[in-house]
Amino acid sequence: MSEINLELNQVSRRFGGLQAVDHVSFNVTKPELIGMIGPNGAGKTTLTNLMSGMLKPSSGTIYLNGRRIDGHPPYDVTRAGLGRTFQITRALGRMSVLENMLVPGLAHNPRASKVDLTERAHEILTLLTIDHLTNELSRALSGGQRKLLELGRLLMLDPAVIILDEPFAGVHPRLQDTITNYIYRVHDNGKAIIFISHNMGAVFELSERLIVLHHGAVIADGDPQTVRSDPAVIDAYLGHDEDD
């Protein structure tokens, strides 16, 4: 089991007059399944972008396994051991599914043998039920299959912490089961997973810990049952927000 220590200290991000993320602090120190929820515009995706290096925080620090990663470019954060998927999938369209898998594999370890990486890619694609598409261009994949491919690419990196941005959105229920299996499996391999979802059923079923964001700030952080009955959460989110 790899070392896991993700540490956010007072992380904030402003966009002009909007405080998108407001002094967020939390730690991830063990292989947990963490659900992250919040109404639309609560700052979930911005926080993901801050953690993965796509955005720089206006203030605050982020450490991963003792290394400061805030403000570092995404490839550096990825190599430090934090991988992410995108809410809107970003398959490398005119490259084959296998090539999509080899890019992170070789980026992670340029000296790795292509044969070994290909073998590993096949194992992962089989787990994700898209092994029959190995040599297809990834732009020929359906929406759900692209989600699966993104999850597969993450495994090639072997990160300690994985952030999944809306892994279930727009995916056929049966493929959602495949994704759920994937999440359990990766979790069993000793990785921390933070997943953002609007699918409340999935969140309460999967997560061991729940972080609730509202107006960019963490309003609750704890086990799902406690969070569910937290008055602040009910008021801000579950109670009367008609969006969800």
Using CB under 8 A, list all residues that contact other proteins: 52-54, 73-76, 78-79, 83-84, 86, 90-96, 99, 102-104, 106-108, 110, 129, 132-133, 136-137, 139-140, 142-145, 153, 157, 171-175, 178
- Least separation in angstroms between CB 185 and other proteins: 16
Of 9 and 129, which CB lies nearer to other proteins in the complex structure? 129
Of 61 and 176, which CB lies nearer to other proteins in the complex structure? 176
Of 29 and 142, which CB lies nearer to other proteins in the complex structure? 142
Of 78 and 199, which CB lies nearer to other proteins in the complex structure? 78
- Least separation in angstroms between CB 176 and other proteins: 9
CA 227 to each of CA 18, 35, 241: distance values in angstroms, whole numbers, following the listed order: 26, 11, 17
Question: Whole-angstrom Cα distance, residue 204 to residue 220?
Answer: 14
- Least separation in angstroms between CB 110 and other proteins: 6
- Least separation in angstroms between CB 97 and other proteins: 11
Question: Whole-angstrom Cα distance, residue 154 to residue 138?
Answer: 16
Chain-centroid distance of CA 122 in Å reads 22
Measured in residues, the chain has a length of 244
- Least separation in angstroms between CB 85 and other proteins: 9
Of 115 and 243, which CB lies nearer to other proteins in the complex structure? 115
- Vertex 97: Cα angle to 120 and 192 (nearest 5): 55
Give the pairing type, strands 161-165 and 217-222: unpaired
Of 108 and 198, which CB lies nearer to other proteins in the complex structure? 108
Kind and range of the H or E run holding 31: none
Q: How far from each other are the two terminal CA atoms of the chain, in whole angstroms?
A: 37
Of 61 and 134, which CB lies nearer to other proteins in the complex structure? 134
- Least separation in angstroms between CB 183 and other proteins: 17
Give the pairing type, strands 59-64 and 6-15: antiparallel
Give phi and psi for 219, each to the nearest 5. Answer: -105, -15
Beta bridge partners of 7: 27, 63
- Least separation in angstroms between CB 212 and other proteins: 25
CA 81 to each of CA 116, 117, 137, 229: distance values in angstroms, whole numbers, following the listed order: 21, 18, 28, 34
